[in-house]
Amino acid sequence: MKHLIAPSILSADFGNLQRDIEMINASAADWFHVDVMDGVFVPNISFGFPVMKAVAEHAKKPLDVHLMIVQPERYIEQFADAGASMITVHYEACVHLHRTIQSIHNAGCKASVALNPHTPVALLKDILGDLDMVLIMSVNPGFGGQTFIPNTFSKVEELKRLASTLQPDLLIEVDGGVGVQNIQELAIAGVDVFVAGNAIFAAPSPAEMIAKMKQLDPNQSIVA
């Protein structure tokens, strides 16, 4: 499968959000990545349903919604109604993870689980067969612009091996510090979906940066 690019609208210009949404619509990007933070699970607050609904109204590509919140199971139906296509919950935030994954599927969305940098991949063994995607956090969640954690490569490779027998169709997503400097090596390790915020929106031409990331070929080098 060709890799997917999911620009994180957390790094967009919120004073010109519709403009940036339309830029992504017209670009080579595949998804919108929507980070929802509650100030409890992570030390930051982003946005909720009103902003999500506004994004969904203008977005022409699927919304990949990443819930960095406590007790995400309380809001699954609301995020589905707000336009989510994929809903990601954190392993660390879910007491009854299997039930939460069932709720996501019952709401008509694809289900994903995120792992913080310190959380072992092996903990997903008993739930992997029920997942559509796993998000490996390559920074500590909560803020954009952080430095990529190198141990991410070994976690991706381990997850790829585990999924090969338990869930061969699993998508592997990476979020945090992703850019042209590491996207090649991450693809080789087994990443299917790349979330990028600052690398895209801080570029002179965000659309050209998206195109550069999308043109990735694991057998060729990328010129920054």
The set of catalytic residues is 35, 175
Residues 6+ away with beta carbon under 8 Å from 198: 11, 144, 145
Could you tell me if 58 and 22 are in contact, meaning their C-beta atoms sit under 8 angstroms apart?
A: yes
Could you tell me if 21 and 58 are in contact, meaning their C-beta atoms sit under 8 angstroms apart?
A: yes
Q: How many CB atoms lie within 10 A of CB 185?
A: 14
Beta bridge partners of 136: 115, 174
